[in-house]
Amino acid sequence: MLTENDAKTKIIKAKNEKRDDFWQQLLSTLGQIKSNTQYLNTLGQIQSNTDQMVKLLTDGHGFGPHLSAARSSKRQRVGEAEERGKNEEAEKLQKKEEADDNEAEKPQENERAGDEEAEKLQENERGDNEEAEKLQEKEEGNDGEAEKLQD
């Protein structure tokens, strides 16, 4: 059986173990925080170095565009704008030519319609001629009968 001293000793050991676990976890957490802080500091230094490199490369002291290159890119943009303007003018001219072509086709369509009407008129005249010939034959037949009657 456990004596009172043994029980007290066990309780003290348990408390010490809990305290040791607490301090161990605290030290572990502090170590992680320190590691993460170092990592963040390293990232900050990398970012700072990157920013410096970008600045050097883009402000004309490194490999970035110089002022003369900036002017030439402006000239290029102006040239592109002029070309777009020419393209717009060309499109307008093309549309105008298409409209002119469409109007030029209208008289041809009218001529075709006129040709069709002329053909119809010719057919009517042929029909009229045939009727006239029949009437003439009839009249000649009537004249022949009249002559017979007069004889």
d(C-alpha 11, C-alpha 39), whole Å: 42
Cβ atoms of 64 and 57 closer than 8 Å:
yes
For 49-68, what is the mean pLDDT? Answer: 70
56 belongs to a structural domain: yes
Number of domains in the chain: 1
- Specify if 87 maps to a domain: no
- Can you tell me the distance from the alpha carbon of 93 to that of 151, in angstroms, rounded to the nearest whole number? 86
Contact 81, 87 (CB under 8 A): no
Mean pLDDT of 110-132: 74
88: in domain: no
Range of the domain at 34: 1-63
Residue 126 belongs to some domain of the structure: no
Q: Could you tell me the two tokens for 108? A: 């041809």
Answer whether residue 124 is part of any domain: no
Q: What is the pLDDT of residues 64-96, one digit of tens each?
A: 555 555 556 667 777 777 777 777 777 887 888
CA 109 to mean position of chain CA atoms: 39
Higher local confidence (pLDDT), 16 or 32: 32
**In the numeric block, which tokens belong to residue 114?**
């006129």
